[in-house]
A and B are shown apart, each in its own frame.
Chain A
Amino acid sequence: MDGIAGRTSALNWIVQISVVALVALWLFPTLGLLVSSFRTADQISGSGWWGALTASEQNLTLRTANPGDDGAQMLVDGVYSVQGQLFGDGSEAEISTWGTSSLRISEFAPGDTADLSDGETLTVQADGAYIWTSPTEMTGRGQRIFVTATTPPEFTLQNYDRVLFSGDSTDGMTRAFLNTLTVTIPATIIPIVIAAFAAYALAWMDFPGRALLIAAVVGLLVVPLQLALIPLLRLHLEIGIGKGYLGTWLAHTGFGLPLAIYLLRNYMVGLPRDIIENAKVDGATDFQIFTKIILPLSFPALASFAIFQFLWTWNDLLVAKVFLIDATGETTVMTNQIVELLGTRGGNWEILATAAFVSIAVPLAVFFAMQRYLVRGLLAGSVK
């Protein structure tokens, strides 16, 4: 609409570039997490994730094969030698300098021969192949080698394997994933069912006090749920629900209801009056009108609230911490699991990044699949 008076191409370019910059800035943090979740611990601590796509230079501490192992040592012409490869199979790392002491890690170039004590020598090639010789038989562990190597980009699925399938109680997310699902699905469906009936009553039934109830719903829309924590936890403990799924569902239902009723009522009020009156003339009861006519027609509004409530319950930490997670920790949810990982594994980014990405993958998938409804719901909820 700005183009009516003609737009210079320079301005257009500025707009294009600014949008690219803005999108890049907004995408950068998430991309960092995604890339990090595919790297090994050494790679993550060796270089920033933005370097993961190009070859990176790293300082590594490696060890030759142990001379004491069977078959590691060969005797040729009176000289004992150990030969091998410093890197694993298929690695394309390239050594630029190396050394045998942690104080002088760049003492030698690839192909140089280092004199170790007692007449032993060590030669390391650029590709990691080495020969370690000695006039006498060698014993004990392998020789330590400090190398500065350029390693090509390398990605691994190891972290996901560990987080999803290892069954490890501290790192594993499988149980927390299932618990989160158990919380989320009923906590999404129950408020929709309750709110749909209430919204229908508020929109299409006549009874005294209707306006007051609508105002009350609008007021409750902004009540912070922080207020509810202590009174409700106490109530749950008194009536025997205690900490558990039932209490969590009820809490999520209560907190989600105002928005649900508000959104659905606003949508249902906008449905054509004729359809409903025709149905009444034809002898349909309110219950039939609701299930056969209103519910199918309200699908967009139902879907948009369902997405809100799903995202909100999936991403929730506070309600789960207060109403669900007890001392045994059996019912931990993913958000809580990640916070605990932040405490116990603050530096292990490969585990943290992977766990976090597992937890945000589902909402992201829902988001991209159902974005249309989400936007529509947002607009219905805020723009009047």
Chain B
Amino acid sequence: MTIIIGVGGCVAYFYFSNQFLDKVLLPAKGANAGRNINRANLIRPWLFLFPAIFALGLYLAYPVVATLWYSVTDRNQGGAFVGFANYQRMMADPKFWEALRNNMLWLIIVPAASTAFGLLAAQLTDRIKWGAFAKSLIFMPMAISFVGASVIFKLIYDTRPVDQNQIGALNALWLQFDGGIGSFLILRLLPGALMICAAVLALFVAYTNAQTIREKGASAGSVLRIVLIAVMAYVIYATLGLAYGAFTNVHPYGEPQTWMTIPGWNSFLLMVVLIWIQTGFAMVILSAALRGIPEETIEAAIVDGANPFQVFFKIKMPQIAGTIVVVWTTITLVVLKVFDIVFAMTNGQWETQVLANYMFDKLFRASDWGVGSASAMVIMLLVSPILVWNVYNARKEMR
């Protein structure tokens, strides 16, 4: 019943407003027919656009301003202007810094891993006969809600006391390791080697960028490149640290772990949920981009004696770079808004807090609108570079 009213009202608006314009207000007949038609055509676009503009303005543009206002006022003082007091209180909250730090990790790891897995899956499935079927299975988590995915992964991360059968797959797998040679290979050598590879890759990216700066000289783009090099330097430092840790950490073999309560690991395991969901998206987009590459370029490379890896990295990668950026930014947007997964699995306990959940916590549990709005503005601030970039690209395209 409510459904019919809601949908019917919407359709009725468009039909009757058009009828009104044509028949009553400016009828296309009589003495002023010509003028009336012209006037009606001036008004009609706005008639078509009005609901959309109204909804967009009210539900997206107005809140940006309103939230900005709330973030500099105090609700308890009757909405008095308090300047940056809310931001100062937020900065003083260690939970906020924890959320920001975790969000940064999410922002680096999730888009990178999803894009990498997506690229791998796209590249592999395009080569086989049942690729379409494989693709739709990898793409499937896209349809599963974050909450549903949280339940699915909670089952995987489940822990039972040591004397019972483990029903969580992760713990069952963990108990297979006993500290022998297999454990060394998988738990020390493999992650250590992966981390060293990541460090080398980061070094390579930083090096090529430094080369470009040296060749082209200082320009507007070199600021961006220097920032990128700084980020890569940090990545190298972090990955080498992790590689060292992979070889030296003492593992509690044979004891089931409560994964969700181990700081560091738990955030990473939450990220796995989102990576699992987003890989399919990256795969579909990148697969289309890979197929859009002109075949002549690949043929020419093969004729020139390039091996498959060279074809992939030197021919294909540069041609799909634009698409990779799009995929990366889209997943970045999803990550910035990630709320359900953390809310359902840990609710930000054990150092897994992220900004969106921190904000929800402040707004609806602590009823602290000032800090809540301030943290929402931080999310907005993080999104705005992508916003500017998108608008810039859209305008460029229309010209």
* Interface hits, B136-165 → A, CB 8 Å: 136-156, 158, 160, 164-165
Q: Is B24's CB within 8 Å of the partner chain A?
A: no
Residues from chain A with Cβ under 8 Å of B56 in the complex: 216-217, 220, 254, 257-258
Asked if A197 and B48 make an inter-chain contact with CB atoms under 8 angstroms apart, the answer reads yes
Q: A197 with B46: in contact, given A26-B137, A230-B372 (CB under 8 Å)? A: no
A4 to B306, CA, bound (A): 13
Q: A200 with B48: in contact, given A190-B7, A317-B343 (CB under 8 Å)? A: yes
Q: With CB as the reference atom, state the residue of chain B lying closest to A183.
A: B3
Q: Is A226's CB within 8 Å of the partner chain B?
A: yes
A19 to B121, CA, bound (A): 7
A375 to B287, CA, bound (A): 11
Residue in contact with A46 in the complex, picked from B55, B165, B280, B340, CB distance below 8 Å: B165
Asked if B134 and A23 make an inter-chain contact with CB atoms under 8 angstroms apart, the answer reads yes
Asked if B327 and A367 make an inter-chain contact with CB atoms under 8 angstroms apart, the answer reads no
Residues from chain A with Cβ under 8 Å of B7 in the complex: 185-186, 189-190, 193
Q: Is A382's CB within 8 Å of the partner chain B?
A: yes
Q: Is B218's CB within 8 Å of the partner chain A?
A: no
CB distance from A103 to the nearest CB of B (A): 14
Asked if A30 and B140 make an inter-chain contact with CB atoms under 8 angstroms apart, the answer reads yes
A222 to B326, CA, bound (A): 13
* Interface hits, A224-258 → B, CB 8 Å: 224-232, 235, 245-246, 249-251, 253-255, 257-258
Residues from chain A with Cβ under 8 Å of B344 in the complex: 317, 338-339, 342
CB distance from A215 to the nearest CB of B (A): 5
Asked if A322 and B364 make an inter-chain contact with CB atoms under 8 angstroms apart, the answer reads yes
Asked if B41 and A230 make an inter-chain contact with CB atoms under 8 angstroms apart, the answer reads no
Q: Is B60's CB within 8 Å of the partner chain A?
A: yes
CB distance from B196 to the nearest CB of A (A): 22
Asked if A223 and B383 make an inter-chain contact with CB atoms under 8 angstroms apart, the answer reads yes
Residues from chain A with Cβ under 8 Å of B330 in the complex: 382
Residues from chain A with Cβ under 8 Å of B59 in the complex: 228, 232, 250-251, 253-255, 257
* Interface hits, A335-381 → B, CB 8 Å: 335, 338-339, 342, 349, 352-353, 356, 359-360, 363-364, 366-368, 371, 374-375, 378-379
Q: With CB as the reference atom, state the residue of chain B lying closest to A286.
A: B44
A18 to B124, CA, bound (A): 8
Binds A, one of B61-69, B89-97, B198-206, B220-228: B61-69
Asked if A231 and B151 make an inter-chain contact with CB atoms under 8 angstroms apart, the answer reads no
Residues from chain A with Cβ under 8 Å of B145 in the complex: 314-317, 335, 359-360, 363
Asked if A26 and B279 make an inter-chain contact with CB atoms under 8 angstroms apart, the answer reads yes
CB distance from B153 to the nearest CB of A (A): 6
A48 to B174, CA, bound (A): 14
Q: A214 with B394: in contact, given A29-B276, A44-B167, A364-B140 (CB under 8 Å)? A: yes
Q: Is B215's CB within 8 Å of the partner chain A?
A: no
Asked if A356 and B67 make an inter-chain contact with CB atoms under 8 angstroms apart, the answer reads no
Asked if A223 and B64 make an inter-chain contact with CB atoms under 8 angstroms apart, the answer reads yes
Q: Is A76's CB within 8 Å of the partner chain B?
A: no
Q: With CB as the reference atom, state the residue of chain B lying closest to A195.
A: B52
A49 to B285, CA, bound (A): 34
Q: A2 with B127: in contact, given A27-B137, A221-B390, A314-B145 (CB under 8 Å)? A: yes
Residue in contact with A342 in the complex, picked from B48, B154, B165, B377, CB distance below 8 Å: B154
Asked if B394 and A378 make an inter-chain contact with CB atoms under 8 angstroms apart, the answer reads no
Q: With CB as the reference atom, state the residue of chain A lying closest to B62.
A: A231
* Interface hits, B175-223 → A, CB 8 Å: none
CB distance from A43 to the nearest CB of B (A): 10
Q: Is B172's CB within 8 Å of the partner chain A?
A: yes
Asked if B49 and A213 make an inter-chain contact with CB atoms under 8 angstroms apart, the answer reads yes
Q: Is A318's CB within 8 Å of the partner chain B?
A: yes
Q: Is B254's CB within 8 Å of the partner chain A?
A: no
Chain B 333-373 against A: per-residue CB contact (8 Å), 1 yes, 0 no? 10011011001100000000000100110011000010011
Q: Is B387's CB within 8 Å of the partner chain A?
A: yes
Asked if B298 and A257 make an inter-chain contact with CB atoms under 8 angstroms apart, the answer reads no
Asked if B51 and A194 make an inter-chain contact with CB atoms under 8 angstroms apart, the answer reads yes
Asked if B141 and A26 make an inter-chain contact with CB atoms under 8 angstroms apart, the answer reads yes
Q: A32 with B156: in contact, given A2-B308, A44-B167 (CB under 8 Å)? A: yes
Residue in contact with B147 in the complex, picked from A15, A217, A219, A339, CB distance below 8 Å: A339
Residues from chain A with Cβ under 8 Å of B242 in the complex: none
A222 to B329, CA, bound (A): 10
Asked if A197 and B138 make an inter-chain contact with CB atoms under 8 angstroms apart, the answer reads no
A270 to B308, CA, bound (A): 37
Asked if B152 and A218 make an inter-chain contact with CB atoms under 8 angstroms apart, the answer reads no
CB distance from B93 to the nearest CB of A (A): 18
Asked if A230 and B363 make an inter-chain contact with CB atoms under 8 angstroms apart, the answer reads yes
Asked if A194 and B151 make an inter-chain contact with CB atoms under 8 angstroms apart, the answer reads no
Q: Is A169's CB within 8 Å of the partner chain B?
A: no
Asked if B41 and A286 make an inter-chain contact with CB atoms under 8 angstroms apart, the answer reads yes
Asked if A1 and B295 make an inter-chain contact with CB atoms under 8 angstroms apart, the answer reads yes
Residue in contact with B165 in the complex, picked from A28, A48, A190, CB distance below 8 Å: A48
A284 to B372, CA, bound (A): 52
Residue in contact with A254 in the complex, picked from B58, B143, B299, B303, CB distance below 8 Å: B58
Residues from chain B with Cβ under 8 Å of A285 in the complex: 18, 22
A316 to B164, CA, bound (A): 36
Q: Which 3 A-B pairs have the closest CB atoms?
A: A254-B59, A315-B145, A198-B52
Residues of A within 8 A of B (CB): 1-2, 4-5, 11-12, 15-16, 18-19, 22-23, 26-30, 32-33, 36, 44-50, 182, 185-186, 189-190, 193-195, 197-198, 200-202, 205-207, 211, 213-232, 235, 245-246, 249-251, 253-255, 257-258, 261, 285-287, 311, 314-318, 321-322, 335, 338-339, 342, 349, 352-353, 356, 359-360, 363-364, 366-368, 371, 374-375, 378-379, 382-384
Residues of B within 8 A of A (CB): 2-3, 6-7, 10-11, 14, 18, 22, 41-42, 44-46, 48-49, 51-53, 55-56, 58-64, 66-67, 70, 120-121, 124-125, 127-128, 131, 134, 136-156, 158, 160, 164-169, 172, 276, 279-281, 284-285, 288-289, 295, 298-299, 302-303, 308, 311, 323, 326-327, 330, 333, 336-337, 339-340, 343-344, 356, 359-360, 363-364, 369, 372-373, 376-377, 379-380, 383, 386-387, 390-391, 393-395, 397-398
8 examples of A-B residue contacts, CB within 8 angstroms: A22-B138, A47-B167, A185-B3, A197-B48, A201-B44, A231-B66, A317-B340, A382-B323
